[in-house]
Structure 1
Amino acid sequence: MTPSGPDNTAPRRFESLRRGATFLLGFACLLVLAAMIGLTCLDVVARYLFNSPVNGAYELTQLLLASLIFLALPLTTAAGEHIEVELLDGLKSKALKYLGAVCAGVATVAVFAIVALELSEHAEKLQRREQVTDSLEIPLYLIGWLGTASFAISAVVAIFWTLRRLREKA
């Protein structure tokens, strides 16, 4: 079978999708971080030079920081850059190391999925109650749904990361 056959099309599409999603999330993180820096600089200059701080700067900074964390979570998961404690590193048994990797992968996926479900319930409550921020009245459910999507995507990414890691350990 040739490399351009039907068996090779799906992996290339998946890889293309992965690269595109990584680029979009990274670019979104860049924009959010630039907005936080710009807002903070503007607020400091306005506060100390003109004695007139930016209204809602603190609120916006909080929302931007939460957004940045939620946008970066799937990228961190895909890169395998979460903090790990290698409790089974000293073991000589390859089978136990493999079992440890399976347990860690299942736990990671489970935690991400549970947090996504809990956040979706919370976001739905925020939306139903029409809760907004104090001064700018920005709807809080937007951040809740962003967090839900972030953890759900991270759960899916963690499945692929775990499968890849298990193939390497096999």
Structure 2
Amino acid sequence: MFGLIKFVERLAENASRFVSNLAAIILFLLVVLTCADVIGRYFLSMPVVGAVELVRICMAGIIFFSLPAMFFRNDHVTVDLIAFFAKGRVGWIISIVMLVISIYVAYRIGDRVFDYAVRAFEDKDTTEYLGIPRVITVSFITLSIYAAAVMAFIRLLVVFSSSGKDFSADGEDIK
């Protein structure tokens, strides 16, 4: 059982690295798009047509393609008000509870976004200027949210398989 969890953990690490690289590529494309729009707008009096729509799509890609890696690596923004709760058996239990809540919330949000993707497909909804079908963007967002829920589940398996007394929520070795 422990070997299977390690295999799934390595597989999830590779998947999270892939989507992180995808988000980085989209960020690079966003930088190129913005530079081309600024140069075209101010020096050539020819802005990039639909740049605002493309920036919106790129921002959605960066944010939502980063979610699975964030959930898997436990890179959430946290505030440690009482740091001693993050270690030992209490931290282990709190981490399990928070991961279960995160999985549920991600699944519910993914379900709602999936409904929106179906509606966008049925209505043949497109963007205002470029006419890009919204179902493409919303489908990738839906997949990313579901992937984030799966990554959180894998993280839950990894945390659940660790012993509670030697656990630290931030990944530090407390021995």
Could you give the per-residue CA deviations for residues 58-108 of structure 1, whole angstroms, max 9, x where no partner exists? 110111110111111101111110123446645599554443223211111
Number of residues of Structure 1 aligned to a counterpart in Structure 2: 164
2:153 maps to 159
Identify the range of structure 1 (48-57 vs 12-21) with the bigger mean alpha-carbon deviation: 12-21
Mapped partners of 1:43, 1:92: distance in 2: 47
Q: Deviation digits for residues 135-169 of structure 1, max 9, x if unmatched?
A: 00001111111111111111111112123234253
Root-mean-square deviation (Å):
2.6
Counterpart of 2:20 in structure 1 is: 26
Which residue identity lines up with residue 148 of structure 2 in the other structure?
S
Normalising by structure 2, report the TM-score: 0.81
Superposition map of 1:1-170 within 5 A: 10=4, 13-86=7-80, 89-90=83-84, 96-166=90-160, 167-170=162-165
- Segments of structure 2 that go 5 or more residues without pairing to the other structure are 166-175
Q: What is the rounded CA distance, in whole Å, between the counterparts of 1:157 and 1:104 in structure 2?
A: 14
Query: Which stretch of structure 1 is more off in the superposition, 102-111 or 34-43?
Result: 102-111
Q: Which moved more, 1:104-113 or 1:89-98?
A: 89-98
Tell me what 1:4 maps to. none
Tell me how far apart the structure 1 counterparts of residues 123 and 57 of structure 2 sit (CA, whole Å): 19
Check the 8 A contact 1:89/1:97 in 2, yes or no.
no
* Identical-pair percentage: 23
Contact 1:123–1:145 (CA under 8 A) maintained in structure 2? yes
Q: Relative to 1, partners in 2 of residues 1:56 and 1:92: Cα closer, same or farther, differing over 3 Å?
A: closer
Q: Identify which of structures 1 and 2 has the higher relative contact order when contacts are C-alpha pairs closer than 8 Å and 6+ apart.
A: 2
User: CA offsets, 1:103-153, max 9 Å, x none?
Assistant: 211111101100110110011001110110000000111111111111111
- Shifted more, 74-83 versus 89-98: the winner is 89-98
The TM-score, its normalising length taken from structure 1, stands at 0.83
Q: Which structure 1 segments of 5+ residues have no match?
A: 1-6
Which whole-Å CA distance do the structure 2 matches of 1:135 and 1:83 have between them? 36
Secondary structure of 2:94 counterpart: helix
Q: 2-side partners of 1:32 and 1:144: how far apart?
A: 16
Q: Which residue of 1 aligns with 2:170?
A: none
Q: Residue type of the partner of 1:56?
A: G
Q: How many Å apart are 1:13 and its aligned residue? A: 4.9
Q: Aligned with 2:138: secondary structure?
A: helix
C-alpha distance 26-102 of structure 1, shift in aligned 2 (>3 A): closer
